[in-house]
């Protein structure tokens, strides 16, 4: 068995290594090449091993997603995310169920079809774009929180379907056991994890080992309680804090292990593909249209209605255009016990593969999709939303415009207030409005890429524009503004920062090189010089 396992892994990684060289040479997305490697490997690897690899790959990646959850960051968007997932269930769920019946599926299979449409993938976020970068934006936090509630819903479905007998007693027992694991994970996150950090004295290696120990504990508890290991993996993930001192070494270690399981997951997804029948293709087409097109449109419509600008709503909704890894777990378990028809199982695998490749391109061209499609569909005037949420003194001039009210933005705003500079803050998170009211008289709640946002912030009368957002779209917008105001922007890359200076930036914030306090001091010096120039 061990020899067979090593041989199977060797086949997988030799194929992946060769295909990644091709991907890297042409600068193409990696996910399609993982899947191609899996298709080839599927001819040589035993079917049962493929399912086992996929199962454990999903479990570990669910754990990694749980680790990435920072409850302090996502609390400002919890309400919108809950409602978005609720709408997916209440609107998209019945539509998908009805279409499943129209496609000739029975009630049980139509239910599985609807589950596949409603749930979205958290794994895809690890491979598409810079996950940590996306987290720093409102659309990143919204996406992460929507996936979090999607996962909670998925776990509930897993607990219901994995009951030994489909009776109220068995289902209730499973739900209580799963709820206990997740509650235990949250209690460890809230109260106990910081003590583990103290015991390890901040050692990255010991913190990593502690995290893996927590994972093994929860996996063992899942097995003991007769639950799916993905439930334990999720509970283990949310128990680990990333906002503690010296957590970077621990996260780097988890990141390395994650890369291994990402390869395993996507290659095994490719290996599960089989030659589709006509019925499979028709079912897969239904899944593709509902998941890849209708779901993002519904989510965008709701978020726009909630007051988010069309760009933020679009970038958030695009992250939901795939089939969830939990759906694959549910489908595999249903297939093994004979609940899912082979045609539906093959359709779910096929659509999952197609949608994950599709997602690599919708994420890559999300700005294009926003400008050329969504912006034309949702023609609600964004000036109305901006006017209703913003407060700007009509007589303000010679002021500082500060883009972003995150950790660094708050420190810079404090410096502006301390020195006596009039400041207008641009922030695209409506949830930040209440906090801004207590710190500044002038703020614009809108997307910094929109021209009206800058008109509202009176950019032509400003003396200085400071951006704490690393988004290149925001940076390019600022540098393109026709104003005499000096411009300070943020960038993560030294080479790119030189180009930004050549484009007209006075100063480029490099967070990976300068500490926040150093950046604050540098900007304070610039602000003081501006103040003296005004006098």
Instruction: Let me know how long the chain is.
Output: 535
pLDDT, residue 131, reads 47
Q: What whole-number distance in Å separates Cα of residue 416 and Cα of residue 409?
A: 10
Task: Please give the angle made by the CA atoms of 142, 121 and 352, to the nearest 5 degrees.
Answer: 145
Judged against a pLDDT cut of 50, whether residue 129 lies above it is answered with: no
Give the contacts of 216 (CB within 8 A, at least 6 positions apart): none
pLDDT (average), residues 402-425 = 87
What is the rounded average pLDDT of the residues 220-235? 93
pLDDT beyond 70 at 134 = no
Q: Two tokens at 128?
A: 């598409």
Strand, helix or coil for residue 403:
strand
Grouping H, G, I as helix, E, B as strand and the rest as coil, residue 488 is strand
Candidate from 78-87, 119-128, 440-449, 480-489 with smallest mean pLDDT = 119-128
Q: Where are the beta strands (DSSP E) in 399-533?
A: 400-403, 423-427, 443-445, 464-467, 486-490, 507-509
Q: Distance (Å, rounded) from C-alpha 386 to C-alpha 447?
A: 9
427, β-bridge pairs:
445
Highest mean pLDDT among 78-92, 154-168, 373-387, 451-465 belongs to 451-465
The rounded mean pLDDT for the chain is: 85
Would you place residue 520 in the very low, low, confident or very high pLDDT band (cuts 50, 70, 90)? low
Contact 18, 83 (CB under 8 A): no
448/380: higher pLDDT: 448
The pLDDT of residue 221 = 95
**Average pLDDT of the segment spanning 282-309:** 90
Q: Output the CATH code of domain 382-534.
A: 3.40.50.720
Q: Is 469 helix (H, G, I), strand (E, B) or coil?
A: coil
Query: Residue 321, class by beta-carbon neighbours within 10 Å (0-12 exposed, 13-18 middle, 19+ buried)?
Result: buried
List residues bridging with 400 in a β-sheet.
Answer: 423, 464
Say what the pLDDT of residue 513 is: 57
Q: What is the pLDDT of residue 132?
A: 46
Strand, helix or coil for residue 294 = helix
Judge whether 445 and 427 are in contact, CB under 8 Å.
yes
Could you tell me which of 233, 167, 135, 49 has the C-alpha nearest to residue 471? 135
Q: Which CATH number fits domain 2-377: 1.20.1530.20, 1.10.10.10, 3.40.50.620, 3.40.50.1860?
A: 1.20.1530.20
Report which of residues 133 and 378 the model is more confident about: 378
Tens-digit pLDDT profile for residues 474-516: 999 999 999 989 999 988 777 788 888 888 888 888 876 555 5
The residue extents of the domains of the chain are 2-377, 382-534
Phi-psi domain of 482 (left: phi exceeds 0; alpha: psi -120 through 50; beta: other)? beta
What does the pLDDT look like over 8-21, one tens digit per residue? 888 888 999 999 89
Q: What is the CA radius of gyration of the chain?
A: 25
How far apart are the C-alpha atoms of 384 and 223, rounded to whole Å?
54
Average pLDDT over residues 429-450: 85
Instruction: Please state, in angstroms and rounded to a whole number, the distance separating the CA atoms of residues 400 and 44.
Output: 63
Q: Is the pLDDT of residue 244 over 80?
A: no
Give 244-251's long-range contacts (Cβ < 8 A, gap of 24+): 244/193, 244/194, 244/197, 245/197, 245/202, 246/197, 246/202, 246/203, 246/204, 246/207, 247/197, 247/207, 248/204, 249/203, 249/204, 249/205, 249/207, 249/208, 250/204, 250/207, 250/208, 250/211, 251/67
* pLDDT in the model for residue 246: 67
Average pLDDT of span 516-528: 66
Pair of tokens at residue 530: 């501006």
200-204, 335-339, 347-351: least confidently modelled range: 200-204
Q: 300 forms bridges with which residues in the sheet?
A: none
């Amino acid at each position: 068995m061990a020899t067979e396992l090593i041989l199977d892994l060797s086949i997988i990684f030799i194929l992946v290594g060769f295909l990644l060289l091709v991907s890297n040479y042409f600068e193409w997305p990696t996910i399609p090449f993982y899947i191609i490697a899996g298709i080839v490997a599927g001819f040589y690897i035993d079917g049962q091993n493929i399912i086992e690899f996929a199962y454990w790959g999903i479990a570990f990646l669910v754990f990694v997603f749980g680790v990435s959850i920072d409850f302090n960051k996502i609390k400002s968007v919890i309400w919108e995310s809950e409602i978005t997932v609720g709408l997916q269930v209440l609107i998209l769920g019945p539509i998908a169920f009805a279409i499943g019946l129209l496609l000739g599926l029975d009630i049980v299979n139509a239910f599985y079809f609807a589950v596949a449409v409603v749930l979205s993938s958290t794994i895809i976020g690890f491979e598409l774009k810079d996950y940590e970068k996306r987290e720093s934006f409102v659309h990143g936090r919204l996406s992460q929180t929507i996936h979090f509630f999607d996962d909670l819903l998925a776990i509930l479905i897993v607990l219901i379907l994995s009951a030994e007998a489909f009776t109220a007693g068995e289902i209730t027992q499973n739900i209580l056991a799963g709820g206990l694991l997740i509650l235990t994970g949250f209690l460890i996150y809230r109260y106990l994890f910081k003590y583990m950090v103290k015991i390890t004295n901040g050692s990255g290696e010991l913190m990593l080992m502690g995290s893996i120990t927590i994972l093994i504990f929860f996996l063992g508890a899942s097995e003991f309680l007769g639950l799916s290991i993905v439930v334990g993996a999720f509970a283990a993930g949310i128990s680990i804090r990333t906002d503690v001192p010296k957590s970077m070494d621990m996260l780097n270690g988890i990141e390395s292990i994650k890369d291994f399981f990402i390869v395993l997951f996507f290659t095994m997804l490719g290996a599960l593909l089989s030659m589709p029948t006509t019925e499979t293709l028709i079912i897969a087409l239904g899944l593709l249209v509902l998941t890849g097109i209708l779901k993002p449109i519904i989510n965008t419509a709701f978020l726009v209605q909630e007051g988010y600008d069309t760009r933020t709503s679009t970038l958030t909704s695009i992250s939901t255009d795939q089939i969830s890894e939990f759906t694959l777990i549910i489908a595999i378990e249903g297939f093994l016990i004979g609940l899912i028809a082979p045609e539906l199982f093959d359709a779910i695998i096929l659509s999952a593969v197609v949608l994950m490749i599709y997602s690599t391109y919708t994420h890559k061209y999300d700005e294009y999709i926003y400008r050329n499609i969504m912006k034309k569909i949702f023609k609600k005037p964004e000036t109305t939303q901006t006017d209703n949420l913003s407060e700007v003194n009509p007589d303000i001039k010679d002021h500082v415009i500060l883009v972003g009210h995150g950790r660094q933005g708050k420190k810079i705003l404090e410096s502006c207030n301390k020195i006596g500079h009039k400041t207008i803050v641009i922030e695209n998170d409506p949830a930040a409005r209440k906090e801004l009211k207590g710190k500044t008289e002038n703020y614009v709640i809108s997307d910094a890429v929109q021209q009206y946002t800058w008109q509202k912030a009176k950019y032509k009368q400003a003396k200085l524009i400071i951006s704490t957002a690393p988004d290149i779209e925001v940076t390019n917008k600022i540098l393109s503004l026709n104003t005499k105001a000096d411009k300070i922007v943020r960038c993560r890359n030294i080479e790119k920062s030189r180009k930004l200076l050549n484009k007209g930036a006075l100063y480029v914030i490099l967070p990976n090189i300068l500490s926040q306090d150093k950046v604050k001091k540098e900007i304070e010096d610039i602000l003081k010089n501006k103040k003296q120039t005004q006098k």
